[in-house]
Amino acid sequence: MKKSESICDLAKALTLVQASLVPAKRDSTNPYYNSTYADLTSVWESCREILAKNGLCVIQGNSVGAENTLIVETILIHESGQWIQSELCLPLSKADPQGVGSAMTYGRRYGLAAIVGIVADADDDGNAASAKNGNVRPIVPNGRPVGVNQAIRSPVNVR
């Protein structure tokens, strides 16, 4: 994570934001996993107004990474000019506009939730990352478990 020289005003404002945050609504359905999740709109709606009331805004951008990846950058900025910034590097599932758009939305959702402190997903206590027999599956740096028949494409950098 990168930050401005000082973040004392930003930290004070973010403390007020986090004291009032409620979890993002899990109102979207993933038919593949038969589960619900908080989509990007829900995550934004959980924080947009309270961020603005406390002099904070978020800027997100994207750039092409190495080896078929997309980098999503999230910057939290205080009205004082203080800022913190984080990047998430995601593998593209498909090298076409739909694959890029999907990775952008996914990265923006997780980047926003992480930098503000929004709870958006169920906490499974690490069960998805562990095999049922107790053996730990390898985890790529983006935090997703690698299945038995799923190869790790290439190292993914999380900055």
Question: In the predicted model, is pLDDT for residue 155 greater than 80?
Answer: no
50 within 8 A of 13, measured Cβ to Cβ: no
Domain count, the chain: 1
Given a cut of 60, is residue 62 above it in pLDDT?
A: yes
Would 155 be classed as within a structural domain? no
The residue with greater pLDDT, 65 or 7, is: 7
Whether the pLDDT of residue 69 is over 90: the answer is yes
Residue 56 in domain: yes
| CA dist 82 → 10, 21, 56, 129 (Å) | 6, 21, 10, 36
Residue 134 domain flag: no
pTM of the model: 0.76
Question: Is 109 part of a structural domain of the chain?
Answer: yes
Query: Is a pLDDT exceeding 70 seen at residue 126?
Result: no
Is 137 within the bounds of a domain? no
Whether residue 145 lies inside any domain: the answer is: no
Express each pLDDT in 7-51 by its tens digit: 999 999 999 999 999 999 998 988 888 888 999 999 999 999 999
pLDDT at 123: 66
Range of the domain at 99: 2-125
Q: How confident is the prediction for the chain on average, in pLDDT?
A: 84
Please determine, for residue 139, whether its predicted confidence score (pLDDT) is greater than 50: no
- Decide: residue 129, CB within 10 A, 0-12 exposed, 13-18 middle, 19+ buried: middle
pLDDT at 88: 96
Q: Identify which has the larger pLDDT, 91 or 151.
A: 91
In a domain, 95, yes or no: yes
How far is the C-alpha of 121 from the C-alpha of 38, rounded, in Å?
7
Q: Is residue 118 in a domain? A: yes
